[in-house]
Chain A
Amino acid sequence: MSRSALAPARPLAAAEDVILRIENLHTHFRVLGGIVKAVDGVTLTIPRGKTVGLVGESGCGKSITSLSIMRLLEKNGRIVGGHIEFRGKDLLALSDAEMQEIRGNDIAMIFQEPMTALNPVFTVGNQVAEAIQLHQRLDRKEAWEKAVEQLKLVGISEPARRAKDYPHQLSGGMRQRVMIAMALSCSPELLIADEPTTALDVTIQAQILELMHEMQERTGTAILLITHDLGVIAEMADEVAVMYAGRIVEQASTYDVYAAPKHPYTQGLLASIPKLGQKQDRLHVIKGNVPNPLSVPPGCSFHPRCPHRFEPCDKAVPSLSEVAPHHLAACYLYPHVHPEAEMEVEELPEELAKPHDVAVARAEKHISAVAPAEDAEVDTDA
């Protein structure tokens, strides 16, 4: 992979080069029990042709961010504040029909579970052709031929034959290739990949990552890569944004984030993963648990688990500011980081709440009602 990962920090993109700009995005959900602030003030820019990694654990809001961009939120969720600009157009102001023009065409998305993302009753060729037909006004025959060509481009052998297969006849890796084919068939400018390789075996993951990189070089598509796997990010992303409890806590080029992480969460995370070839006596541990989305700690949401917390940390949310050249972090340990003003957002009405109860929400977010108790361990210095 010819990427200058060894080069020192590059400036974050200049305005003309930016494909997607998210500013202070707030997405809230109404559940039986309150409001979940899934995305709580996210600012991110994606430069043309580059790969930006959005990394975080479950419940941090990374997937919701991507769904917000695509405006594919469920009924009980709404974007209550902020802007999303795509090539200068305000996405939040578009009508449904206009948004539909953009989806699949200018911004495409691939998901974690290709089996559930593909329709089981249609052949894969059909599904790729459908995407093409929708956006490129070709007739069925031409769309089919183009679909077969796409399948070939993603490395599926015997594409003409394979196009007539149904999703269940293909392996996981193949299905993900089909998804990529579908996503890239209309040459989108931005590809959002939400955990694209998490469900795949390591050797297949390697193939898919290689494919994604190839396709990016060929088509110049920018990629927003969402994952919890720090290894995948290190391989694929040019820039990384680390999310925690709905906010971005650190953002810089990949090299900078891994070589010199600034935020204690990032530091803890990088220190706690086992590294091949470097067996440790005891792994570093981040105390405690991810917070309950219905009761996020005040101030910096990471402070209860932070080994460096001090006086201002529980008072107000720290701003995401430049703490080193082209390196942003939201932590009071650094100068330039100041308390962020609370944004006035619209309140979601109670009626929106589905009987999607608190227990289910908890289960899905991997957080508990029961106090973290003795989860903690004395942590070693990062």
Chain B
Amino acid sequence: MAQEVVTTENAVGQSGQVAQAAEIIQGYDELEHAPELGFWKLAGIRFLHHRVATVSLGVLAFIVLAAIVGPILEGNQYKVLDYQSPYHPPVHLQLAPPFLAGDWHHPLGTDEVGRDQLARLVRGARVSLTVGLMAMIGYLLIGGTFGALAGFFGGWVDQLLMRVTDVIIASPFLLVVIAVTAAFGGVSLFKLIIILSILGWFEIARLMRSQFLSLRESEYVMAARALGASNFRIITRHILPNALTPIIVSATLGVSGIILLEAALGFLGYSIPPPEPSWGNMLSNFEQYMLGGYLWLVLFPAFALVTTALCINLIGDGIRDALDPRQR
């Protein structure tokens, strides 16, 4: 195939006109050094401007740290039964001397079988956060795929996938959980994550679908098609990275929902079985505790739940503002 290959260099050299187009303006190279403020860096800066979100991030970080480190330090304390010291109140102030009462071995008190509440609380944190994170990943994988395919292809694919979604939405959540629990003989962390994932991905799917529906009409997608890009490449390389913004926000806010859901299930007895504590199942004897006046046994898990959920929500708001300031 001996053909004369004409390269761009020759062409440029031969044609005065294209070379003419290459005159450089002197003196404005300072603009070259303008910082490359990438999208994420800029978003990070905006997030930090949001004081409430930053503080919430700090608090959440503390909770996560406690969840990781706490159980390591406490070891098996969470399940140590101490019938000698049931219903010990936590460390508290009192009017009569000594002004600080309570047992420093059990700073947050003990429950009806003498288990240390602090140990149980930090161990429960692990459960809540793990379930929150993993179930959300499940939502993203299932819902994300469904939504992307439905939004991208439209037509019958869309109709089919959306009907499947409708089935999930219509399922009576609690009954399904009870039925599955009964069928599979009890709940474990793994099974819980699977069930939650399967029953809750529809919101992400809807979001992803609407993003894909609008983004697939973008001109850069058309340009990619004109270049010959495959559907797979267009979905993963072109649309997906641009679809992420509302997904990230929704996912963050969704985690708090999952944590509260797991707590509700725990309260009802359908979460992790004892002796493993979760903030939900720590509340399952809630009436007994209230009637007995053992308020600390209710207060601490509830407070932990509320704080965590609140922090995550506030962080989600901060992320939303950071990623799309025009949405204000």
Chain A interface residues toward B at CB < 8 A: 32, 287-288, 292, 295, 304-305, 354-360, 368-378
* Given known contacts A356-B325, A357-B46, A359-B37, A292 and B31 CB-to-CB distance under 8 angstroms: yes
CA distance A32 to B41 in the complex (A): 14
CB distance from A308 to the nearest CB of B (A): 15
Q: Does B7 belong to the interface (CB within 8 Å)?
A: no
| Interchain CB contact under 8 A, A371 and B37 | no
Beyond contacts A370-B31, A377-B20: 16 other A-B pairs, Cβ-Cβ < 8 A, are A32-B45, A304-B27, A355-B321, A357-B42, A357-B45, A358-B37, A360-B326, A370-B32, A370-B34, A371-B29, A371-B32, A372-B25, A372-B31, A374-B22, A374-B24, A376-B24
Interface size on B, residues (CB 8 A): 23
Q: Write the chain A residue with the least CB distance to B325.
A: A355
* Given known contacts A288-B25, A304-B25, A369 and B46 CB-to-CB distance under 8 angstroms: no
As a 0/1 sequence over residues 259 to 281 of chain B, the CB contacts with chain A under 8 angstroms (1 = contact) are: 00000000000000000000000
CB distance from B308 to the nearest CB of A (A): 27
| Interchain CB contact under 8 A, B42 and A359 | yes
CB distance from B72 to the nearest CB of A (A): 40
Q: Write the chain A residue with the least CB distance to B17.
A: A282
| Interchain CB contact under 8 A, A355 and B46 | yes
| Interchain CB contact under 8 A, B31 and A360 | no
* Given known contacts A355-B321, A369-B31, A371-B31, A377 and B49 CB-to-CB distance under 8 angstroms: no
CA distance A357 to B40 in the complex (A): 12
CB distance from B13 to the nearest CB of A (A): 16
Chain B contacts for A376, CB-based, 8 A: 23-25
| Interchain CB contact under 8 A, B25 and A287 | yes
CA distance A287 to B325 in the complex (A): 34
Chain B contacts for A304, CB-based, 8 A: 25, 27-28
CA distance A304 to B24 in the complex (A): 12
CB distance from B108 to the nearest CB of A (A): 40
| Interchain CB contact under 8 A, A377 and B23 | yes
CB distance from A376 to the nearest CB of B (A): 4
Q: Which of B20, B25, B39 contacts A378, CB < 8 Å?
A: B20
Chain B contacts for A368, CB-based, 8 A: 31
CA distance A373 to B27 in the complex (A): 10
Closest 7 CB pairs of A and B: A369-B34, A355-B325, A376-B23, A374-B22, A371-B31, A355-B46, A371-B32
